[in-house]
Amino acid sequence: MEIYLSPPHLTGEELTLLAQTLQKGWIAPAGDNLTLFEEKIKQYIGKKYALAVNSGTSAMHLAVKALGISKNDFVLCQSLTFVASLNPILYEQAIPVLIDSEPETWNLSPKYLEQAIEYCLKAGKKPKAIVVVHLYGRPAMMKEITEIATFFGIPIIEDAAESLGAGYREKKVGNFGELAFFSFNGNKIITTSAGGMLVSNEEKYISKAQFWATQAKDPAPHYQHSEVGYNYRMSNVLAALGLAQMDVLEQRIAQKRHIFEQYQKALAHIPYIHFPQAIPYIQETHWLTRILFDTPAQAQKALQTLHAHRIEARPLWKPMHLQPLYQNCMYFGESIAQHLFERGLCLPSGTQLTNQQINQICEIITKR
C-alpha cells in the first residue's frame, strides 16, 4: 500500500527514552517508565488507579475477571465492534448477549439494552456487566446507558480502546464505568507498538488485576500459586514509547479532527456519501474517519477502487451477531448495525496524512 489506514506516528523522542531505558537495563515488566506512564494516564483521564498491560484485550480480560464474571454469566455487549470486545467474555466461559447500535453514535442502543436486561431478568439471570464500546473515537450515549445500568444495578466496562481523549458532556471516556480500558496498538491514536491500560477508581480492582497480570504469585519467599495467572504486564521498554507519545496526544487528536474536516469539505458535494452528524455534547477524536454510502454496492466499489490505487481502506466492523463465532448468541435489535457495516467505509486517517493525499483519496472515491 502507498497510503495506509492508520500507521504509527513517532515523535523522535522515543529513541532518546528507549536508549536511556536500555542503558539502565530495566527492560522487564517493571521500572520507572511503567510507573510514570500509568501516572500520566491517570492524570489525563482523571482516574485514581491504572495498570499498564501488553494489550487492550488483556485489559478487557482483567476487567471481566475483576467483576467476578464466570461460567454461564450473561454479559451485555454491543454487536458492532471488534472481536476483542467479546473474546475475553468467552475466556471466562460467560455468555455474550449482543445488542444493536443506535443511529446517532453507532454505539450501544439504550433502547435495546433495556430490552435485553429485562429479558435476562425474566429468565432468572441478572447480567453481570454491560460492555460499552466507544467506536472509532466517538463516545456512546452514556447518560442514557448509565441511567439504565444504575437502575438495574449492573456494572459497566468501558471499551475505550479506540477513543483515548474523546469526551462526553465534558468528561473524558473512561469515567463512566467501574472499569475502563484503552489500547496502544500500532494503529491507535498513540502507540506503544502493543499495549493497553486498565483504569478504575476502585483500588481493589486494579490490585487484583495486577496480581493476575503477573502470574498470580502468592506472598511467599518461594514461587507459590493458588490461582491461575497471566503474563499480561507491559514491559518497561514499551512504556518508554508511551511516555514520548503522551507528550503529543493533544496534537494527534487535533490532527485527526482536521483530517475528518478535510474529508467532509472534499466530499460535501457528493449526495450519496454521508458523514456521522456532529453531536454538541460529544467531543469526538475521529480516530478513523468513517463515511456511509447510500448503497452497499457503492461502498464496495469505492473500497475496490481505493485498493486498486494501493490505498488502504476498510469496511466498518462486521457485527458480532453475523460472525460465525457469535452467530448463535442472543441478539436484541433490528438491523442498524448490519446496515452500517454494509454501507460504511473507514478512510485513511493517519496523522501524517496531507491535504493533498486526502484530496487524491476523495477523487478516487468519486471517480465514475
**What stretch of H or E contains 293?**
strand 289-293
- Alpha helices by DSSP H, listed for 165-324, are 203-213, 236-246, 249-267, 296-308
State which amino acid sits at residue 114. E
Nearest to 177 by CA among 77, 293, 74, 263: 77
Q: Does domain 13-246 have CATH number 3.40.640.10?
A: yes
Residue 142 phi, psi dihedral angles, 5° rounding:
-70, -25
pLDDT level of residue 367 (50, 70, 90 thresholds): confident
Give the cell for residue 338. 448490519
pLDDT, averaged across the chain = 97
pLDDT level of residue 368 (50, 70, 90 thresholds): low
Q: For the chain, how big is the Rg over CA atoms in Å? A: 21
Residue 211 has pLDDT above 80, yes or no: yes
Average pLDDT over residues 328-336: 97
Sheet holding 273-274, edge to edge: 273-274, 289-293, 344-347, 314-315
**Model pTM?**
0.96
Under a CB-based contact definition with an 8 Å cutoff, are residues 182 and 166 in contact?
Answer: no
Task: Please report, for residues 27, 39, 93, 194, the alpha-carbon distance to residue 237 in angstroms, rounded to integers and kept in the order given.
Answer: 5, 16, 33, 11
* Beta-carbon contacts of residue 333 (< 8 Å; ≥ 6 apart): 79, 99, 100, 101, 109, 112
Q: Which has more pLDDT, 25 or 197?
A: 197
Separation CA 213–CA 230 (nearest Å): 5
**Do 13-246 and 249-366 share a fold?**
no
pLDDT level of residue 347 (50, 70, 90 thresholds): very high
* Beta-carbon contacts of residue 254 (< 8 Å; ≥ 6 apart): none
Question: Helix crossing, 110-122 with 142-152: angle to 10°?
Answer: 20
Residue 31 has pLDDT above 90, yes or no: no
pLDDT in tens, 229-251: 999 999 999 999 999 999 999 99
pLDDT in tens, 271-326: 999 999 999 999 999 999 999 999 999 999 999 999 999 999 999 999 999 999 99
Give domain 249-366's CATH number out of 3.90.1150.10, 3.50.50.60, 3.40.30.10, 3.30.450.20.
Answer: 3.90.1150.10
The domains of the chain are located at 13-246, 249-366
pLDDT level of residue 57 (50, 70, 90 thresholds): very high
Separation CA 163–CA 93 (nearest Å): 27
Query: Which pairing describes strands 49-53 and 314-315: parallel, antiparallel, or unpaired?
Result: unpaired
What pLDDT was estimated at residue 1? 67
Provide the Cα torsion 337, 338, 340, 344; round to 10°.
Answer: 140
